[in-house]
């Protein structure tokens, strides 16, 4: 029987790249996106495998929508081997400027969307005598930065959730990994709320400078998660920064403050 993989937010970018790599390795993939047309576009580019793939639509921010997705997978496949909670939105702005509605939007999708995926699909995974969950967080969830407050909080929540879930799943033969990439080219910034153009432009410039693309991040995540690694840091520079923060936090915070001060000065702010 083929490995059965479900990926949310797979209509473009990282999710689509992961779907392609899994399909190339012979897996059946359920490509899930809030826009069905994007899911169908991803499916059209996948190599065919025995049993075929599924293009499905779901809103990770809705309990009812995710429950319907769970029921569809149960009906179509009768089980699942890998769950990738990848859907998310971008957000920017200083803490005092972020509205309650924006906090609700970001936390409901980025954090509670992952919670919904885990709550509904992990029981299905564990029925297969194991199973793997990959939750997409961000390096912003490990190292906070100015103007990324709501986004960083949502991704830090995903890291904490994944730590707990990994320990729980291991008691039943499964495991969880959490992916914390830095900047790379995706369509994520299209999901910024109106009025966040300044942050969109700044993050867009950093994405263009990124040395990794979606395929690089996807391949690293799949290979390292399969090998049993929990914390997935595809960017070499973030691995160094993470070690620096853990072992020399005072130096790390001072260096980070200087870095962002210089960035704002160059931008004329």
Tell me, what's the pLDDT at 189?
46
The number of distinct structural domains making up the chain is 2
The answer on 202 and 179 residing in a single domain is yes
The answer on 171 and 202 residing in a single domain is yes
| CB atoms closer than 10 angstroms to residue 233 | 22
Distances (CA, A) of 163 to 17, 22, 157, 168, 175: 25, 24, 10, 9, 10
Tell me, what's the pLDDT at 268?
54
| CB atoms closer than 10 angstroms to residue 26 | 11
Nearest to 133 by CA among 180, 101, 102, 165: 165
- Does this model's pTM top 0.85? My answer is yes
Catalytic residue, from 151, 220, 252, 253: name it: 151
Domain of 249, in residue numbers: 236-269
The answer on 257 and 221 residing in a single domain is no
Q: Which residues of the chain register pLDDT less than 50?
A: 189-192, 204
Tell me, what's the pLDDT at 191?
43
The answer on 128 and 12 residing in a single domain is yes
| CB atoms closer than 10 angstroms to residue 52 | 12
Q: Examine the residue annotation and report whether 151 is marked as an active-site residue of this protein.
A: yes
| CB atoms closer than 10 angstroms to residue 132 | 22
H-assigned helices in 107-233: 112-126, 149-170, 197-209, 214-226
């Amino acid at each position: 029987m083929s490995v059965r993989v479900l990926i949310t937010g797979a209509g473009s970018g990282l999710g689509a790249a992961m779907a392609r790599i899994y399909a190339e390795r012979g897996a059946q993939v359920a490509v899930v996106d809030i826009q069905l047309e994007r899911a169908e576009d991803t499916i059209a580019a996948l190599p065919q495998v025995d049993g075929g793939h599924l293009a499905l639509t779901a809103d990770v921010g809705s309990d009812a929508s995710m429950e319907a997705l769970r029921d569809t997978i149960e009906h179509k496949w009768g089980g699942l081997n890998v769950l990738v909670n990848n859907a998310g939105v971008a957000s920017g702005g200083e803490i005092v400027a972020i509205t309650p509605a924006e906090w609700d939007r970001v936390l409901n999708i980025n954090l509670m969307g992952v919670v919904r995926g885990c709550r509904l699909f992990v029981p299905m995974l564990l029925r297969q005598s194991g199973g793997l969950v990959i939750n997409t967080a961000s390096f912003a969830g490990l190292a906070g930065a100015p103007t990324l407050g709501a986004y960083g909080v949502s991704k830090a929540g995903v890291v904490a959730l994944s730590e707990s879930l990994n320990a729980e799943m291991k008691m039943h033969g499964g495991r969880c990994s959490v992916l914390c990439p830095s900047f790379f080219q995706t369509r994520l910034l299209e999901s910024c709320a109106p009025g966040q153009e300044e942050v969109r432009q700044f993050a867009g410039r950093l994405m263009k400078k990124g040395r990794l693309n979606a395929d690089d991040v996807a391949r690293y995540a799949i290979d390292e998660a399969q090998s049993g690694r929990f914390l997935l840091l595809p960017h070499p520079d973030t691995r160094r920064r993470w070690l620096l923060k853990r072992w020399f936090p005072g130096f790390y915070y001072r260096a980070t403050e200087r870095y962002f001060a210089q960035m704002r000065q160059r931008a004329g702010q």
